[in-house]
Amino acid sequence: MAYVELHARSAFSFLRGGSFPERLAERAAELKMPAMALCDRDGVYGAPRFFGKGREHGVRSIVGCELTMEDGFILPVLVESRTGYQNLCRLLTQAKLRGTKERSPVNWNDLAEYANGLVALFGMENGKLEAGPVPKLLAAFGKENVFVEIQRHLTRGEQRRNQALIDLARHHRLPLLATNGVLYAEPRQREVLDVFTCLRHHTQLDLAGRLLEQNAERHLKSGAEMSALFRDLPEAIDNTERLAERLEFTLENLGYQFPTFPTSGDETMEGMLRRLTYEGARRRYSARLPRKVVRQIERELELICRLGFAGYFLIVWDLVKFCEENDIMVQGRGSAANSVVCYCLRITLCDPIKYKLLFERFLSEGRNPRSWPDIDLDLPSGDRRERVIQEVYRRYGERGAAMTANVISYRGRSAAREIGKVLNFSNDVLDRFSNLFANGDFPHTLGFQEQVIKAGIAPEHPRLPAFMRLNEAMRGLPRHLGQHSGGMVICQQSLDRVVPLERASMPGRVVVQWDKDDCEDLGIVKIDLLGLGMLAAIQETLTLCSERGREVQFHKLPQDDPATYEMIRKADTIGVFQIESRAQMATLPRMKPTCFYDLVIEVAIIRPGPIQGGLMHPYLARREGKEPETYFGYDELLKPVLERTLGVPLFQEQMLGMAMALADFSGSEAEELRRALSFHRSHERMEKVQVKLRAALERKEIRPEAIEQIVNAVSSFALYGFPESHAISFAYLAYGSSWLKVHRAPEFYAALLNNQPMGFYAPATLIKDAQRRGVKFRPVCVQASQWPCVIEADGAIRLGLCMVKGLQRERAERLIAGRPYEVLGDVQSRVRLTKEEWRTLAEIGAFAVLGKHRREALWTVEDEYREDDLFPMTTASVKECPLPPMNPAERVRADYAGTSVTIGRHPMALLRASVPEAWRAVDLAHASHGTRVRIAGNVICRQRPGTAKGVVFISLEDETGIANAIVHPWVFERDRLLITQEAFLVIEGVLQARAGTQIVQAEKIEPVPHGALPGSASHDFH
């Protein structure tokens, strides 16, 4: 009989397995194994990926799990039926929700309730034989569902332990089962497991000793190898196939059902959806609907209802309704914006009829039955979004709804640091590596070995080869389970019958054990409730406007405001949504947006897809009239698809449209292409679609050069290409935030400051940008500041107590409640603060309103107030301060130390004398192309995008604005330490001035001597 491995752990056992589940399935196929069981520790984390790859390779994937019992005993169980799977999920959920994030064992007393449909293995996983659990297992599972597991790893003492197991099996008349207790697919992966073991036990490889496996025998072995190992116990091998035949359940059909939506009377969900859609259509368009609108609504409703999605649309509509009724801004985005039904239900703001959007990008005839349409809802980040999430939990219960997981993997810095710890590299070397190579690097500019050597590890270091090897082997392996930013799954009945649930680190949150891609692959519906910082800032801006009698109806803003477009064309977009990055600001003067759709293109064009595919520059050249419009030589077929983007495909919908127009792709083939474009985890999926697309184009006798252009464009979009509908949704926020910056600047900047961290720029840069636009600021004041930044009667922004580092909100509220104060002693007598809080408030000038300069206030608060003092503190009772007031540089230093911002002079204004030859940022517009210049400033941004072939972009802020520099890879490697560590830089090079943009091509880089003068935080390598 064939051998079937029925006990294997993957890396989804988190530090207890060394291989991806996909690799285990591939290896099983290579060994001609008909089936295999995955038993990850305390969960089914790796089961979906194991199932998917097993199905692809003809290996039946059996679901199992190692349960950690309350006494530490490890109990492997295998799933026989769907009932057994549901019981396993419920048992794990009960343990996870009862326990803590760190420890959640299963109680022995719970086994009997959930044992039906499960098979238990009793063996040596704990390293010692304990017969005590056997009666408990027999009582819970029944004799026919308990197997005694034998493993042979050629280790000392193993034969004696196995003989005891054989004797125990014969005593209880239990069948023997041979397994290899697999921990990795191939022997070479054993060293990864050794690293994981050291990490789990917080030790180094030199000190791990017997904690490590004695050899590399716990890899996946062939039937022949296992038969040879167990030639004296052939029944133990035969039983693996017999048991595998019993274990019929797979993840093919989980029995998942999306909740039905409650309707009144005899109305069906389909009828209700139709009614609401047409009611909304009349509000969106007119009482007498245009024929093309009715035609599209009917087409969509027919498909939605036939595929059984009516309830899904109604549930999302109801969530949007909840948001509207509770003053929570909401905007649907993503491919849902391609649907006129979503538009009529007020789920999205984008009119797909007006923009001629492709509905097939959202929902198509050939859609995989497991794959549900994807509707993402953007919500204000923070408390408002949390209210919506908690409303979903309230409606469906703790076990009926959960967040999707996010698998945190070993990447660059985290992998290198943990490997370094295990190999006993010094902390200073690891710190240096982390600082120099904060987010990995680019092999074509500097190999990993060179990075390590630059960090201080000698090339001849005996452990360098192991460090290199392990870093490669661990890349991408799961590190721990996190929480997705907003994906929620809900279920008709208990979700814990479909997938185990566990507590998230955030209170009040429950997560499933699978990520969003796993859920989608298995047909589990996800609704994304995404927190958007800009949406929170916009909502607060609107509230402030209303409070000040300057009300704005955000969704009715004029789309053609000249002042707004003028600001955008000047790239004066610091603080606005999406178009504030250095790359966007460099493109805006070339794009010269004059209408809303120009912003749609601007949002989409600065993405890895269009850039990597070589599509951005042709589009800009055509827009500037430097290149003619072409349509791959097939104008008649492709002009309707590409005309709005001048013949250059910039959106995913256009890729689908090209495939359907040129290659006659069917709905299902277009759906396959859509999924490949949206599925970032699988290169294989993209390659398969490319082969199919190429073959279809060849059958249609498309010219070879056009085929190459089209296939290359499609390939680039697999990296990251926007759907047009997504870009339109984001463009609404980009335009709206720009309009608010132009017409409601005080309210807009106050809201930005109150919703940090968000966006591209630090609060210090936002304040300087606001000041350049004429917005006035006032400092933190113990008498006048609220917790948030507020706008005073004359339109000036008063910095809030939220800006003060280390000041707890509860104590800030006490400060506010104790007002008014006449002298500093009043504050000290009424409010209890920590010594550090008193010092910070004094140093930033918060007590200036009470007649104290900063050092005088600091002198006073150092004289600690005592409640039982016979004489209350008065100004006279404090010794006169002998210290002089702070000078401007000292005030700036204190501002940054206490609040990370200053409303006084920019630090560069104080340093200007040390770099007199440096051009000010504002003056670069007057310099000629090719001029050699020097620029100087506080580094506020360092970027090294993957599409730039190792080039680094640096933004320097001075007292007049921002200057940009481009640093070629060889210059960056020469000056890496200087560039990554210095807060102020002087950069010398040749000015490139084209189409209204100025950028300095760096040749020489030096630090600006700045003493202890601080700068604002830099947005680095994101």
- Per residue in 823-844, pLDDT (tens digit) is 998 998 899 999 999 999 999 9
Average of per-residue pLDDT across 807-816 = 94
Four-CA torsion 835, 840, 841, 846, nearest 10 degrees: 160
Average of per-residue pLDDT across 536-546 = 96
Closest residue by Cα to residue 632 from 653, 618, 611: 618
Closest residue by Cα to residue 68 from 133, 156, 154: 133
Closest residue by Cα to residue 96 from 393, 397, 396, 398: 398
CB-based contact 939:955 (threshold 8 Å): yes
> Would you state the pLDDT for residue 461?
84
Which residues are CB-contacts of 799 (< 8 A; sequence separation ≥ 6)?
A: 753, 777, 778, 779, 780, 785, 789, 899, 901, 903
Q: Which residue has the tokens 């993997």?
A: 409
The radius of gyration of the chain from alpha carbons, rounded to an integer in Å, stands at 32
Overall domain count for the chain: 6
345-to-274, 324, 772 alpha-carbon distances in Å: 10, 12, 42
What confidence tens digit (pLDDT) does each residue in 474-488 have? 988 999 988 887 888
Average pLDDT, the chain: 88
Task: Identify the band that residue 875 occupies on the pLDDT scale cut at 50, 70 and 90.
Answer: very low
- Backbone φ and ψ of 126, nearest 5°: -85, -5
What one-character DSSP code corresponds to residue 927?
S
| Residues 522 and 559 placed together within one structural domain of the fold | no
Q: Which residues pair with 377 in a beta bridge?
A: 332, 529
Rounded percentage of the chain residues whose pLDDT exceeds 70: 92
Asked if the structure places residue 7 within a domain, the reply is: no
| Residues 351 and 220 placed together within one structural domain of the fold | no
What one-character DSSP code corresponds to residue 127?
S
Phi-psi region of 372 (alpha: psi -120 to 50; beta: other; left: phi over 0): beta
CB-based contact 969:445 (threshold 8 Å): yes
Question: If 0-12 CB within 10 Å is exposed, 13-18 middle and 19+ buried, where does residue 228 land?
Answer: exposed
Asked if the structure places residue 791 within a domain, the reply is: yes
Asked if the structure places residue 257 within a domain, the reply is: no
Asked if the structure places residue 953 within a domain, the reply is: yes
Asked if the structure places residue 262 within a domain, the reply is: no
Residues shown for the chain: 1022
**Is the per-residue pLDDT at 322 higher than 70?**
yes
Between strands 932-943 and 952-957, the pairing is antiparallel
Task: Identify the band that residue 50 occupies on the pLDDT scale cut at 50, 70 and 90.
Answer: very high
**Is the per-residue pLDDT at 615 higher than 50?**
yes
Query: Nearest 5 degrees, angle CA 616-CA 618-CA 621?
Result: 110
| Residues 975 and 850 placed together within one structural domain of the fold | no
> Would you state the pLDDT for residue 868?
46
Question: Hey, is 299 helix, strand or coil?
Answer: helix
The identity of residue 908, as a single letter, is M
What confidence tens digit (pLDDT) does each residue in 376-422 have? 899 999 999 999 999 998 988 878 899 999 999 988 777 888 998 99
> Would you state the pLDDT for residue 703?
87
Task: Identify the band that residue 125 occupies on the pLDDT scale cut at 50, 70 and 90.
Answer: low
CA dist 178 and 239 (Å) reads 8
Handedness of CA 200, 201, 202, 207 (dihedral sign): negative
| Residues 680 and 667 placed together within one structural domain of the fold | yes
What confidence tens digit (pLDDT) does each residue in 276-305 have? 999 999 999 988 999 999 999 999 999 999
90-120 burial by CB neighbour count: b if 16+ within 10 A, else e? bbbbbbbbebeeeebbbebebbeebbbbbbb
> Would you state the pLDDT for residue 472?
87
Asked if the structure places residue 311 within a domain, the reply is: yes
* Domain-ending residue, one of 447, 475, 503: 475
User: How many Cβ atoms from other residues are within 10 Å of residue 974's Cβ?
Assistant: 13
63-to-49, 81, 279, 319, 502 alpha-carbon distances in Å: 12, 10, 48, 35, 19
| Residues 227 and 288 placed together within one structural domain of the fold | no
CA 885 remoteness from chain centre: 47
Asked if the structure places residue 264 within a domain, the reply is: no
380-to-127, 212, 251, 374, 531 alpha-carbon distances in Å: 52, 48, 36, 20, 5
CA dist 211 and 193 (Å) reads 11
Task: Identify the band that residue 700 occupies on the pLDDT scale cut at 50, 70 and 90.
Answer: confident
Task: Identify the band that residue 80 occupies on the pLDDT scale cut at 50, 70 and 90.
Answer: very high
> Would you state the pLDDT for residue 872?
47
| Residues 931 and 958 placed together within one structural domain of the fold | yes
CB-based contact 713:656 (threshold 8 Å): no
Handedness of CA 779, 784, 787, 790 (dihedral sign): negative
Four-CA torsion 672, 678, 682, 688, nearest 10 degrees: 30
**Is the per-residue pLDDT at 438 higher than 70?**
no
> Would you state the pLDDT for residue 613?
63
> Would you state the pLDDT for residue 876?
47
What one-character DSSP code corresponds to residue 738?
H
Average of per-residue pLDDT across 914-928 = 92
Between residues 433 and 816, the one the model is more confident about: 816
> Would you state the pLDDT for residue 75?
95
CA dist 780 and 801 (Å) reads 6
| Residues 513 and 562 placed together within one structural domain of the fold | no
**Is the per-residue pLDDT at 493 higher than 80?**
no
Asked if the structure places residue 496 within a domain, the reply is: yes
| Residues 113 and 155 placed together within one structural domain of the fold | yes
* 25-34, 86-95, 181-190, 475-484: range with lowest mean pLDDT: 475-484
What confidence tens digit (pLDDT) does each residue in 939-958 have? 999 888 766 677 889 999 99
**Is the per-residue pLDDT at 440 higher than 50?**
no
What confidence tens digit (pLDDT) does each residue in 745-800 have? 999 999 999 999 888 899 999 999 999 999 999 999 999 999 999 999 999 999 99
| Residues 596 and 723 placed together within one structural domain of the fold | yes
| Residues 27 and 45 placed together within one structural domain of the fold | yes
Can you give the CATH number for the domain in which 47 is found?
3.20.20.140
**Six token digits for residue 930:** 């090719």
**Is the per-residue pLDDT at 867 higher than 90?**
no
What confidence tens digit (pLDDT) does each residue in 652-674 have? 778 778 888 888 776 667 666 76
Q: Which residues pair with 489 in a beta bridge?
A: 402, 526
Average of per-residue pLDDT across 337-349 = 92
> Would you state the pLDDT for residue 86?
96
- Residue-number span of the structural domain to which 970 is assigned: 907-1020
CA dist 171 and 167 (Å) reads 6
> Would you state the pLDDT for residue 28?
97
* 52-61, 439-448, 583-592, 1006-1015: range with lowest mean pLDDT: 439-448
| Residues 594 and 660 placed together within one structural domain of the fold | yes
CB-based contact 53:25 (threshold 8 Å): yes
* 187-201, 217-231, 491-505, 1005-1019: range with lowest mean pLDDT: 1005-1019
| Residues 553 and 652 placed together within one structural domain of the fold | yes
38-49 burial by CB neighbour count: b if 16+ within 10 A, else e? bbbbbbbbbbbb
Claim: this prediction has a pTM higher than 0.75:
yes
User: Within the chain, what is the greatest distance between any pair of CA atoms?
Assistant: 99
